[in-house]
Structure formats: structure tokens, C-alpha cells
């Protein structure tokens, strides 16, 4: 083997080895860095215009970072804290209720709900009572009660660590966001130098990624946020307890067909109908059907103007699959992976398959 070849393989081996080590080093920060990349793609056009006006990339990036901190990061952190507080209150209420009522009393209370007696017959109540008094149920209740107590203790023990981790990752996000905005052109030039792809094809891939982020922002996340906010307005003014939690569940449900946000607001409308009165139930139903669920038809067409037209099934599979695989950042990462893959397939078709047909 020639000296040049030995040098080449040695250099490649060392490069791959140290690239792997660098990846391990940044793995704890990969999620906030990905969020920084996504937010930089969304705000980059604003940064370009602002930097030209101010004649300073650094000042423009700093201003946008501060605005993001004040109007996006801090509000979301506060909403998160309020949601956690309401979740703790719900858990405490359920625990107190179960401690002060036997499961048989719970079933009897459910039986008293209008129309519930059609589903829960006296025969079912009698069988449930016999099972609840059995030794098997007591043993099962003791086992799972012990596990639940341990789990709750672990959750509360880790809360302080979780808060510290969130604050630190927020700091990493803001720092990364600033530098990606400020040095975006340098990052792009660096990729061009080392990526084995024609500049035209590389720009096509990057443009696809950019348009995909916009499509998800305006199409899925935009709809989810809008439906959550509109749902919160109704839940709050109709006097529903823990309205913030229900609003967040409405946002999450908007990603899941076929019912979407209706899977949350419709049961709430039924609950308000029986608990608060006919007027509350009808108002919730009208607001949910005419406003919350129809806002999708207003926001989603923006995809056609601001991003790419993703087929709904692709958008659904990629966002839900990304969410289950990568967490909340997967809402963006999933569609990016899908569309980048399709973009690379089209480049392969254009450069390889059609090139071969032309004898290139």
C-alpha cells in the first residue's frame, strides 16, 4: 500500500473517530441546538432585512434573540409552569377524592349521572361490588398503590433537577440561536466546501428544508396553537376548572385525525351541558364546531403561500412519528427528514438515472 493511501485512510479514520467523539459531546445539547436551527430558519428573512438596515449581523442577531426571549421563551416557560401547577392540583384532587371515597362509592356516583344508568346496570354494580371486596382486588390495589407512591416520589424528587435542566437548555438554545443567525452565511459556505454535491442540488435540499419548516409552522403547529388558544378562551369564560391543561390537550389533539381538537372540546361540551346547564353546553358546542375546529380551514391554506404543499397523510405520519421518536422537536424534524429524503431521491433521478440515459 502506498504512503499516500495509508495517509488517506489514517486521516479518514481519525476524522470519523473524532467526529463521533464530538457528537457524543454535543448529544446532551442536541435538542436545544435543533430548536435553535429551526427558529433561525423561521427568523432568517427578518435577520437579513434587519442586518442590512443596521449594517451589523451581530446587532441584528442580538435584537432578534432578545425579542425571542421576551415574547416566546419566557411566555412558554410561564405557561409550562402554570400547566405543571394545574397538573399537580388535578393529581391532588383525584388522590384526595379516592382517599375519601371507596371505589364502590365512585361507581355509585357515576351511576347517578343522567343516562349513565343505561350503561351501568344494577347487575354490573353488584358484580363490581363483589370484585372490590375480594382478596384478589385488595392484593392488586396494594401492589399498584405501592408502585404509584414510589413513582410519585421519584417524580417530585426529580422536579428540581428538571427545572435546572430546562433553564440550562434554554440558555444553550439562546446562545446557539444567536450564533446561527449571526454566522449563518459562514455555516452555509462551510457546508458547500465539504459537501460532495453540486451547488444547485445543495441549495434545492436546503430550500426544501426551509420550506418544510415553514409548512409545519404555519400548517400543523400554527393550527395547534390557534386551536389551543381559542379552546382556552371558551374553557376559561365558561368556568371550566384547569382550563390551561384542557387547552394544551386541545393543541395536542389537533395533530391526531380524524377528530382532532374535537376529541377534547366535544366531551367538555357534554360535561358542561350536564354540569353547568344547557346554555353552557350549547355555547361550548357552537364555539368548538364553528371556531376551534374550522380555524384549520383558515390557517392551513397559508402553507401554499409560505411553505410546501405536503400531502396530509405525509404531514400526519411525519409529525406524529417524529413526536414519538424525538419528542416535541420531532414535530419539525420528522417532516424535514421526509421531505429531505424525497428531495435526495429526485436529485438521484435527475443526476444519476437521467444522466445515464443521456450517456453522461
* Three-state secondary structure string covering the chain: CCHHHHHHHHHHHHHHHHHHHHHHHHHHHHHHHHHHHHHHHHHHHHHHHHHHHHCCHHHHHHHHHHHHHHHHHHHHHHHHHHHHHHHHHHHHHHHHHHHHCCHHHHHHHHHCCCCHHHCCCHHHHHHHHHHHCCHHHHHHHHHHHHHHHHHHHHHHHHHHHHHHHHHHHHHHHHHHHHHHHHCHHHHHHHHHHHCCCCHHHHHHHHHHHHHHHHHHHHHHHHHHHHHHHHHHHHHHHCCCCCHHHHHHHHHHHCCCCCCCCHHHHHHHHHHHHHHCCHHHHHHHHHHHHHHHCCCHHHHCCHHHHHCCCCCHHHHHHHHHHHHHHHCCCHHHHHHHHHHHHHHHHHHHHHHHHHHHHCCC
Task: Give the predicted TM-score (pTM) of the model.
Answer: 0.70
pLDDT score at 343: 83
* C-alpha cell, 12: 479518514
pLDDT score at 295: 81
pLDDT score at 358: 44
Write the CA distances from 206 to 6, 213, 339, integer angstroms: 35, 11, 11
**Pick from 259, 312, 254, 262: which is nearest to 286 by CA?**
262
pLDDT score at 332: 80
**Cα separation of 217 and 44, whole Å?**
14
Backbone angles phi and psi of 238, in degrees to 5? -90, 5
**Pick from 283, 273, 264: which is nearest to 114 by CA?**
273
* Contact (CB, 8 A) for 170 and 77: yes
Domain ranges of the chain: 1-183, 195-360
Apex CA 174: angle with CA 172 and CA 79, to 5°?
100
Show the low-confidence residues of the chain (pLDDT under 50): 304, 356-360
pLDDT score at 192: 78
Amino acid at each position: 500500500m502506498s504512503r499516500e493511501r495509508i495517509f488517506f485512510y489514517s486521516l479518514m479514520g481519525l476524522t470519523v473517530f473524532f467526529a463521533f467523539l464530538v457528537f457524543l459531546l454535543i448529544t446532551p445539547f442536541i435538542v436545544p441546538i435543533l430548536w435553535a436551527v429551526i427558529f433561525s430558519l423561521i427568523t432568517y428573512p427578518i435577520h437579513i432585512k434587519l442586518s442590512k438596515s443596521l449594517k451589523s449581523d451581530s446587532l441584528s442577531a442580538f435584537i432578534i434573540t432578545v425579542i425571542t426571549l421576551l415574547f416566546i421563551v419566557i411566555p412558554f416557560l410561564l405557561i409550562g409552569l402554570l400547566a405543571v401547577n394545574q397538573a399537580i392540583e388535578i393529581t391532588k384532587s383525584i388522590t384526595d377524592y379516592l382517599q375519601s371515597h371507596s371505589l364502590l362509592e365512585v361507581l355509585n356516583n357515576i351511576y347517578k349521572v343522567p343516562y349513565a344508568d343505561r350503561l351501568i346496570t344494577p347487575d354490573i354494580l353488584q358484580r363490581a361490588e363483589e370484585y372490590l371486596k375480594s382478596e384478589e382486588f385488595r392484593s392488586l390495589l396494594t401492589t399498584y398503590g405501592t408502585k404509584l407512591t414510589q413513582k410519585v416520589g421519584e417524580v417530585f424528587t426529580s422536579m428540581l433537577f428538571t427545572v435546572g435542566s430546562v433553564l440550562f437548555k434554554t440558555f444553550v438554545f439562546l446562545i446557539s440561536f444567536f450564533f446561527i443567525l449571526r454566522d449563518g452565511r459562514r455555516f452555509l459556505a462551510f457546508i458547500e466546501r465539504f459537501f460532495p454535491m453540486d451547488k444547485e442540488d445543495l441549495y434545492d435540499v436546503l430550500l426544501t428544508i426551509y420550506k418544510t419548516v415553514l409548512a409545519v409552522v404555519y400548517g400543523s403547529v400554527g393550527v395547534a396553537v390557534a386551536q389551543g388558544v381559542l379552546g382556552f378562551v371558551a374553557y376559561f369564560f365558561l368556568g371550566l376548572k384547569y382550563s390551561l391543561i384542557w387547552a394544551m390537550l386541545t393543541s395536542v389533539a389537533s395533530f391526531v385525525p380524524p377528530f382532532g381538537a374535537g376529541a377534547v372540546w366535544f366531551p367538555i361540551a357534554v360535561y358542561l351541558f350536564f354540569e353547568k346547564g344547557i346554555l353552557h353546553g350549547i355555547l361550548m358546542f357552537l364555539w368548538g364546531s364553528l371556531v376551534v375546529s374550522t380555524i384549520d380551514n383558515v390557517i392551513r391554506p397559508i402553507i401554499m403561500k409560505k411553505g410546501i404543499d405536503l400531502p396530509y397523510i405525509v404531514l400526519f405520519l411525519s409529525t406524529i412519528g417524529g413526536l414519538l421518536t424525538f419528542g416535541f422537536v420531532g414535530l419539525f424534524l420528522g417532516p424535514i427528514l421526509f421531505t429531505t429524503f424525497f428531495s435526495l431521491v429526485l436529485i438521484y433521478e435527475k443526476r444519476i438515472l437521467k444522466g445515464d440515459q443521456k450517456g453522461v
